[in-house]
Structure 1
Amino acid sequence: MAPLEIAQLGNPILRQQALALTPSQLRDYAPFFVELEKTMLEYNGIGIAAPQVSKSIRSFIVASSPNPRYPNAPQMEPTLILNPELIWSSQETEVDWEGCLSIPGMRARVERPKHIEVHYTTLNGSDIHCQMEGFIARIFQHELDHLNGIVFLDRAKPKDYFTEAEFLKLVS
């Protein structure tokens, strides 16, 4: 099956507040979440939010692993995040590179809290409360922004925008 179509910057869905899933909807969306993960992997993503494939629901996948777009990414198993909440974020921040499947060909340095505490629901309805740090915390915050109609370029200074080609020269 072909990957889902990625909504590109300019598509109004990327600027909308996504809707929370009710407990009864979780299982109904299970086939969609499988396709969402396949799409993310097809395009070498390390995360993807439902609005990026034109579904305005509060869900995303975090799945860091080294790939051609992120050669230095740490390895972690794909994690489906439903109805996420950011509970706490550290005052300590770090600036690092971000890109987005909905904004192909662009990278920017973005400042984000280094440590976060989050709450979310799993597909089976379990509540997860945990802390994240570093690159994984960055992915979570980036994807959470998508659920709130924010893209990473909104958080970067224009002087910190780079093309994908120039970014790859820097990290190679």
Structure 2
Amino acid sequence: MRDLGIVQYGAPILVEPARPFQLPVEREEAATIVEKLFATVERLASAHDFSGKGLGLAAPQIGVSRAAAVVRPPGAEPLMLLNPRITHASEAVDERFEGCLSFFDVRALVPRPLQITVETQMPDGTTATAIYEHGTARLIAHEVDHLEGFLLLHRMRPGVDPIPVEEYRRTGEATGRAWTYE
């Protein structure tokens, strides 16, 4: 992942809160960073198959400490997140293995809410609110965590450690298919 321009675990930028944009004043800077994020997501998608569970990338993961992220849920249009904030999270959670581009050689069992409400800013400074569920909620919550300086290691239950990808491949979740919810 480092070869594809992804900042790896241990870099201080990954655990520092990203600086929010002042929109619409910083609209052009936001557009430039989002363009870089989309270009990096395209490079990643051409190098690895993320079609099953989706793909997300936060600006700190490309070395930019600004509050921008891109999420590409499976089978859906990509989402741009500027200054995102989770305003509500359901009490109902599930625990699934997550990967992270900044920890590409491990997977971590992370509890996440099954539904979240997210407020983001648009480049013109207006605010948009949307509700996301299941796998998309998981992807977005992961990226919002990156922007707040939290890593998936911070979200794991105490006493649970990440596992190597080789071990993950022996689990039932390592099929490459989307997470299923009943």
User: Into which bin does the TM-score normalised by the smaller protein fall?
Assistant: 0.7 to 0.9
Structure 2, unaligned runs of 5 or more: 176-182
Q: Provide the rounded CA distance (Å) in 1 between the counterparts of 2:72 and 2:125.
A: 20
* Aligned equivalent of 2:163: 162
The 4+ residue runs of structure 1 with deviation greater than 6 A are: none
Structure 2 length-normalised TM: 0.81
Quote the offset at 1:168 in angstroms: 3.0
Q: Report the identity percentage.
A: 31
The correspondence for 1:57, drawn from 48, 66, 88, is 66
* Aligned equivalent of 1:33: 34
Q: Provide the rounded CA distance (Å) in 2 between the counterparts of 1:168 and 1:26.
A: 42
Structure 1 residues 130 and 29: CA distance shift in structure 2, 3 A: closer
- What are the Cα deviations for residues 35-70 of structure 1, in whole angstroms up to 9, with x where unaligned? 2112123224600000111111111011123xxxxx
Preserved CA contact (<8 Å) 1:47 1:143: yes
Tell me whether 1:129 sits opposite 2:129 in the alignment.
yes
* Aligned equivalent of 1:47: 56
- Equivalent pairs, count: 161
Which amino acid in the other structure matches residue 161 of structure 1?
Answer: P
Quote the offset at 1:4 in angstroms: 6.3
Preserved CA contact (<8 Å) 2:33 2:68: no
Q: For structure 1, which segment, 35-44 or 13-22, has the greater mean C-alpha deviation from structure 2 after superposition?
A: 35-44
Preserved CA contact (<8 Å) 1:48 1:61: yes
* Aligned equivalent of 1:153: 153
Q: Provide the rounded CA distance (Å) in 2 between the counterparts of 1:108 and 1:163.
A: 9
Quote the offset at 1:84 in angstroms: 0.7
Preserved CA contact (<8 Å) 2:69 2:81: yes
Q: For structure 1, which segment, 41-50 or 127-136, has the greater mean C-alpha deviation from structure 2 after superposition?
A: 41-50
Quote the offset at 1:169 in angstroms: 3.5
Quote the offset at 1:160 in angstroms: 4.7
Q: For structure 1, which segment, 130-139 or 151-160, has the greater mean C-alpha deviation from structure 2 after superposition?
A: 151-160
Q: Provide the rounded CA distance (Å) in 1 between the counterparts of 2:127 and 2:43.
A: 29
Structure 1 length-normalised TM: 0.85
Preserved CA contact (<8 Å) 2:21 2:30: no
* Aligned equivalent of 1:15: 15
Q: For structure 1, which segment, 44-53 or 118-127, has the greater mean C-alpha deviation from structure 2 after superposition?
A: 118-127
- What are the Cα deviations for residues 70-92 of structure 1, in whole angstroms up to 9, with x where unaligned? xxxxx111111001111111111
- What are the Cα deviations for residues 136-171 of structure 1, in whole angstroms up to 9, with x where unaligned? 001111001111111102212454522223323432
Which amino acid in the other structure matches residue 128 of structure 1?
Answer: A
